[in-house]
Structure 1
């Protein structure tokens, strides 16, 4: 387990009715903070750059990049000590806190059936609820009788769970504009980490208010579910994720993956492709989905069998998903831009495409095959670039640098020798593959009657790909009006940031980070607070 600081006692140092404490008082209070045992896990958001829609059907693959936007789950005991009569209890307590939403929900959890009953008036979070149920059931399904005694004692202390989402998961565009600031990454970075998310009130009643959550499409629910599952499984001793690369690390990740997929699918009410959860667990990779029956059969079994037995069967089930190591080639960067046109409903768009497939099977099958081939071509070009970089680093570095300063039609003019020419031709091949993917996605959208790449996005993406140093641009995942992505060469990201700002597009702070789920050493809010303390001058 990780040792962390009780952040709830620390935050008040900077929030005392709007009047900050003196530096001396801050340091004195920090000295008195008690350390508490806690497990803190984080999981990344994602960007699906190829595989939109076709990834729903095996064996079609998609390339999913994990990002530096991370969701955090902090798990610790709710009670420090057990009462003498606790062994007679058949229920334990759970407190779920979401500071950004201003929410704190209380639950009772059955230690026999793992049912959760919300005892407070706050709105419920089904993703966290199922994550808790299935993680605890996994512990019972995994442990022998001796370990179950220790597990029971730990469970009776209750759970205190806090969830935190990085700012990149949410849109703060309105806040930037209300401050009169320019739409730039610098303005975005001025917003404090884990800032509150605005709530709309209904009839002025707080209990009926709903979070006004404008999202950027990074897969917040999958990252949140995975972080909670990982923290709980580590806290309960089912897995040990603290030693990265250990002998059983992959097996531990597989357990986190299975329970996270199960909880996420049940919470959202359907068995999706699962690429978002997979990237939250494993990081960037090429992904082929699992056969949906492994979860749909469990859904049916839950109605008649104890949850502990169902989870045991799921853990032993045939998970035939495929993942192949992948990350962007060297000296290439992922950027995301928020157009400010609002998000899209992925389930409704997927439903429209499925209806089109049923009504026009021949045409849809042809488009499906062409799109899958185009995705494979782009993947092959990017992998070739990684290989060329490894074998000819100095030449590769020089080509990327030269191409980063001009538009794509001038790239070929920058080279003369054979290796340089091969690198440039591969860059152009990747661009052409992306243009083909975009064309096919637009055609599919027109046929299905949905805006997979709306006209406004088309204009933005065309302008983006004309910016010097931009290799690729597209709409991630299911498309629509979410943030667009681009892959830039070298240091050309500044060119794109300025170009997007001129088009009223906010460049986000998101970058590719191939790291998947992990255990953190400290509460992420401590960095924010300690940096504030270190900047205080004591005269």
Structure 2
């Protein structure tokens, strides 16, 4: 039985919050070790003799972590889904992903042999299982409820792919099982959509995904298969969420860590017209000029991305974005000046990080020595650690990166105050300032659009444990997720293979 498993990573936007919504502003986005997995296999091993006369086939979508199973009928003519289950169990991102992939496959396969092979695959039915790394979800409340410390060890003790449906008391005092989906802001919907699109496109023979064990592809070698995954995933994700976002989360899920400039929203204008025939929509989308820009980027060697969950309340990114846009309309002169300064600071940070990558490539041992030395000191003492011109250049670049990032934080704070939204709330500012004054810390900030949800730090050498302990002592839960520059990939098998499936899929944390 043919089984395809594909995965796609979550993201952290370290620069470009708000600006990345508009071309030609760039954002630096890091892909992470948090991944969504989609497992695709046929519902039936053989095509039933009578099935060739069918105009519909069966689709089953299982989300073990939500204890959900949803069944559909898929129209072979229109590539649309009809739900047979309760609408409460459906996921619009998965639905759009399936519909867009099948429509794309039908549009791309023009010769009869491939069309017949596609129909044969579809007539066997589609069995899709979706799993997300624990990193996408918040387990903070459960850790606190059990009286455990807010440490990475407490998180690591939670079995992989744990249930995110917890027993809670309803208003009548009875206990019921309700989905509680508190997230950590890593772009779960984008990673999930991309993993479903990629696994289905590979399963149906439309693309040939790279293996997860392969190294990063060279930037100049255009990968048309990944480009197709990106277009379909981006389109399905936008339609499912009901708006055309910047798309950096989907791009990171497909290509990995990168410098990103968004696509023109007009490429999806036809897809937004209601009542359009899906195959026609797909044809238009595939013919459009997708003008997003991506350039390979990753953190310099011996630098670690650390994320923390403060637990000080949630933030609504759409409402914050809306408030910033209102401010820009009300005060165009001031807002444009702020955005220009913010864009300059973003560019300066990018330049410094690129230069550090260059230094490491030229003299790795000397680079390693000074980075490890600086990791044991606060930033004000880094320069005195340099023993030669090369090391001085490295330290100057480290300090240049810090200065650029302090500028980014300042302008983001100013924008938040002017727009009346907590982009970097005072509670976060105190934490971030204290973190940036710790030994070995290069940067500390709020990712993406900011708010109360998360903080991040980029840390030199072996200093990560000390920062984790400091955060834990201040009520911030350090997460296990790290940067992984790889994007979407083909996996060797079910990620639950090393665990007892029944334990993983039904575990409840009380």
TM-score for the superposition, normalised by structure 1:
0.88
Aligned equivalent of 2:237? 264
SS of the residue corresponding to residue 458 of structure 1 reads: helix
Q: Does 1:90 align with 2:58?
A: no
Cα gap change, 1:310 to 1:79, in 2 (>3 Å): same
Aligned to 2:367: 396
TM superposition shift of 1:492: 0.6
Partner of 2:91: 125
Query: Which residue of structure 1 aligns with residue 3 of structure 2?
Result: 38
The offset of 1:146, in angstroms, is 2.4
The alignment status of 1:138 with 2:128, answered yes or no, reads no
Aligned to 2:508: none
Q: Residue 511 of structure 1: SS of its match in structure 2?
A: coil
Residues 514-533 of structure 1 correspond to what in structure 2 (within 5 A)? 514-529=485-500
After superposition, where does 1:264-343 map in structure 2 within 5 Å?
264-300=237-273, 303-304=275-276, 306-343=277-314
* Structure 2 match to 1:379: 350
Name the structure 2 match of 1:163: 130
> 1:275: Cα distance to partner?
0.2
- Structure 2 residue corresponding to 1:344, chosen from 298, 312, 315: 315
Looking at structure 2, the residues matched to 341 and 80 of structure 1 have their Cα atoms a distance apart, in angstroms, of 50
Equivalent in the alignment of 1:56? 21
Q: Which residue of 2 aligns with 1:10?
A: none
Aligned equivalents of 1:526 and 1:264: distance in 2? 29
Aligned with 1:70 (options 32, 35, 40): 35
Offset, 1:113: 1.5
* Cα deviation, residue 297, structure 1: 2.9
Closer, same or farther: CA 130–110 of 1 in aligned 2, 3 Å: same
1:83, CA displacement in angstroms?
Answer: 2.2
Aligned equivalents of 2:12 and 2:319: distance in 1?
A: 19
**Deviations 1:387-414 (Å, cap 9, x if unpaired)?**
1112222221111111100111111121
CA contact (8 A) 1:445 1:453 kept: yes
For the residues of structure 2 that align with 1:203 and 1:520, how far apart are their CA atoms?
A: 44
| Matched position secondary structure for 1:390 | helix
Q: Kindly report which structure 2 residues correspond to 1:13-24, keeping only aligned pairs within 5 A, or say none.
A: none
CA drift at 1:346: 1.1
Q: CA deviation at 1:37?
A: 2.3
- 2:187 maps to 219
Inter-CA distance 282–375: structure 2 relative to 1 (3 Å threshold): same
Contact 1:217-1:343 at 8 Å conserved across structures = no
The answer to whether residue 432 in structure 2 is matched with residue 466 in structure 1 is no
- Match of 2:497, SS state, is helix
Normalising by structure 2, we get a TM-score of: 0.93
Corresponding residue SS for 1:162: strand
3-state SS of the aligned residue for 1:491?
coil
Closer, same or farther in 2 for the Cα pair 1:428/1:233, shift >3 Å?
Answer: same
Q: Does 1:446 align with 2:413?
A: no
Aligned to 2:506: none
Check the 8 A contact 1:381/1:426 in 2, yes or no.
yes
Cα separation, 1, equivalents of 2:141 and 2:449 = 24
Cα distance in 2 for partners of 1:383, 1:242 equals 26
**Equivalent residue of 2:319, what SS?**
helix
How much has 1:296 moved relative to structure 2? 2.2
After superposition, give the CA deviation of every residue in 1:419-449 in whole Å (9 maximum; x if it has no partner).
Answer: 1111111101101111110111111011111
Q: Does 1:241 align with 2:209?
A: yes
- The alpha-carbon deviation at position 55 of structure 1 amounts to 0.4
Match for residue 388 of structure 2? 417
1:20 counterpart residue number: none
Native 8 Å contact 1:202 1:209 kept in 2: no
Give yes or no for contact 1:408–1:466 (8 Å, CA) kept in 2. yes
Q: Report the secondary structure of 2:434's partner residue.
A: helix
In the TM superposition, what whole-angstrom CA distance separates every residue of 1:227-273 from its partner, at most 9, and x where no partner exists?
Answer: 00000000111101146569997110000000000000000000000
The answer on whether the counterparts of 1:290 and 1:321 sit within 8 Å (CA) in structure 2 is yes
Residues 78-113 of structure 1: CA deviation (Å, up to 9, x unaligned): 122222211111111111111111111111111111
Measured in 2, the distance between the counterparts of 1:416 and 1:151 equals 64
